[in-house]
Structure 1
Amino acid sequence: MEKVNQAMEKMKMLVGIEVEEEEVSEENTSSFFEDFNRQCTLNTKQRLYGFATCLAAGLACTLLSMLVFFNPIKFGITFTFGNLLSLGSTAFLIGPKRQVTMMLDPVRIYATAIYIASLIIALFCALYVHNKLLTLLAIILEFGALVWYSLSYIPFARSMVSKAMVACFDTDF
């Protein structure tokens, strides 16, 4: 039984769940994220349920957006909402503070900025501009930014994709 508990603690550490409760300091200088993390403590089962539910809802929205593909405004809204849910699902596993810290890591700060900007542009074009062409272009930008952002979590993936694209579109013979 002791080995099972040790294995569970190692798994929790790998996923980013804190093994032991942190002592609450009595200082009033704690940051917003520390207060938020302290108030939103979930056990492992609740985190996994939250992750699965949020990811399933995000994937469902993304897949259902294909049904309204020929209406770019509805497609843009459902696709973007699905991406936001999928992105938020990982906060259940690793916590919102670590999620934001990882997103603002120097390796992926530009990918994060472009991805979040493309989400905002797609929603703006779909909800306020109501222009199908602009919404479709924003969705293409959003999809490209999502791929580039996702590749930032895989070591050397972005450099491999960049080299492959240069090799594919190189016009020198």
Structure 2
Amino acid sequence: MDTMRGALERAKMLVGMEVDEESPPPEEQSFFDDRLYGFAICLAAGLTCTFLSMLVFFNPVKFGVTFTLGNLMALGSTAFLIGPKRQFDMMLDSVRIYATAVYIASIIIALFCALFVHSKLLTLLAIILEFGALVWYSLSYIPFARSVVSKVMTSCFDTEF
């Protein structure tokens, strides 16, 4: 616990934040530590589910459900850090409302294809759409990242000579 606190203090110093000379009361430290542990556990579980889904790639139901569950757990892990209400508000921000809508729609499509259609091809296409929507949604948190990626993709796939 003290090593994590020391690492956090060093990280604060590296990014130029002021380090408190006085440590917060033990109950505040415990709450912050619990949130970090919740984040780490949820993120690790989500990444594990996502990677384990590759083992059942040829079974569309198991693949679609495990991959989607892993993505949702990894995405939900940030709610431990900033809180679920703030996470929800940030998802509905005008900058990323369309990315959020496409991501949620792709999750629904992937689960529908996996659970009801049972088509390997459609499930695979839905998972590709879901992955792309997750990347686009994640890029919305990095300033100018989506415009840079758009320009790079346009220059890569531009057919005019």
Q: After TM superposition, is the score higher than 0.5?
A: yes
Matching residue of 1:115 = 103
Q: Which residue of 1 aligns with 2:87?
A: 99
SS of match in other structure, 2:126: helix
Q: Does 1:78 align with 2:66?
A: yes
Q: How big is each residue's C-alpha offset from its partner over 1:89-139, in whole Å with a ceiling of 9 and x where there is no partner?
A: 100100001000110110000000000110111111111221211111110
Measure the CA separation in 2 of the matches of 1:137 and 1:48. 35
Amino acid at match of 2:95: V
Q: Does 1:168 align with 2:156?
A: yes
> What is the DSSP-based 3-state SS (H/G/I as helix, E as strand, rest coil) of the residue aligned with 1:3?
coil
C-alpha distance in structure 2 between counterparts of 1:119 and 1:150, whole Å: 15
How much has 1:71 moved relative to structure 2? 2.3
Taking the aligned partners of 1:135 and 1:3, their CA distance within structure 2 comes to 51
Partners of 1:4 and 1:139 in 2: how far apart? 48
Partner of 2:50: 62
Whole-Å separation in 2 of the counterparts to 1:4 and 1:86: 34
1:68 positional shift: 1.3
The residue matched to 1:106 in structure 2 has which SS? coil
1:126 alignment partner, one of 114, 132, 136: 114
> What residue is the counterpart of 2:10 in the other structure?
none
Q: Give the aligned length.
A: 140
Identity of aligned residues (%): 77
Correspondence for 1:4 among 16, 21, 26: 21
**Shift in Å, 1:4:** 3.3
- Give the TM-score, by structure 1 length: 0.76
RMSD: 1.9
When the two structures are superposed, what TM-score results if normalisation uses the length of structure 2? 0.81
Q: Give the distance between the partners of 1:5 and 1:123, measured in 2 at CA.
A: 49
